[in-house]
Structures are given as structure tokens and as C-alpha cells.
Structure 1
Amino acid sequence: MNKKIITIPEIFETASEEQQRKLGALFSLQLSEIARPKRTLEEVMSDMSDKAQERGLTPEILESLLHEE
């Protein structure tokens, strides 16, 4: 059985305008995911801690929030 290989440009060119818009958005999301530098859990947690402190979260407030029922 012969299989025809279809390339992404061929699919894009034959798609409707709305399908092209959706494909473009999908490709953009995929490329941004690939290009984004990966961060470690420690880096993410450190950033979260810094932002929480900038917004006024103190160790005392955090402790009281953790022990609320």
C-alpha cells in the first residue's frame, strides 16, 4: 500500500481560513512551549516565595493561614 506523505505547509495551504487561524495558534503555542526555558521546582518555589513577600506575606501570616480550620 502506497502512503502519501503530507507536509504541514500542504495541510496549512489546503485548510480554510478559520482552520489556518486555529492551526497557527496551535503551532504558536507548541513553539512557545519548546522555546521556553525549563525551570527547576526550587526556582519556581523561590519565585513564588519572593512574590508572596513582595505582596506582604510574612512568616507569621503564613503560619496563621496554615493552622486555620
Structure 2
Amino acid sequence: MENQTISIPVDVATAQAYTKSSEEEQKKIQLLLGLRIRELLDKPSVSLNQLMDEIGAKTEARGLTPEILEYLLNDE
């Protein structure tokens, strides 16, 4: 499959973490994001708010609290 590059704005911490990761980790992230984007585009009937609510509910169910998220985002 031929690849094409796109630009997606992210917060500074995410960009730094991605940049610092190994080439192998970056490839894994790219693959996962590509799959997730296709999955999201296959469900055009879901609004952004619904999607964000769904993601929030899943992360809370898995134990991610706002405090843990803040710690992870600020961890260097």
C-alpha cells in the first residue's frame, strides 16, 4: 500500500513524546492512527461530541482519571 503524509495538529507534549520515540515506535503509532482514522471515517454519523463522550467513557471505565491524564501528559 502506498503511503501519503498528512499533518494533524497536536498539543506540544504529544508532539515531543512522538518525536522522542524510536523509529519503530513511531511506525507503530502511525499504523494505529491510520487504522483509527479509517475507523472513524467509516462512522460518519457520529458527531464529534458523541465521539469525545464515547472516548471519555471508555477511558474512565479503564480507570483513567483526569489526574492520571494530567500526570501522563506532563510526565517527561
The TM-score, its normalising length taken from structure 1, stands at 0.45
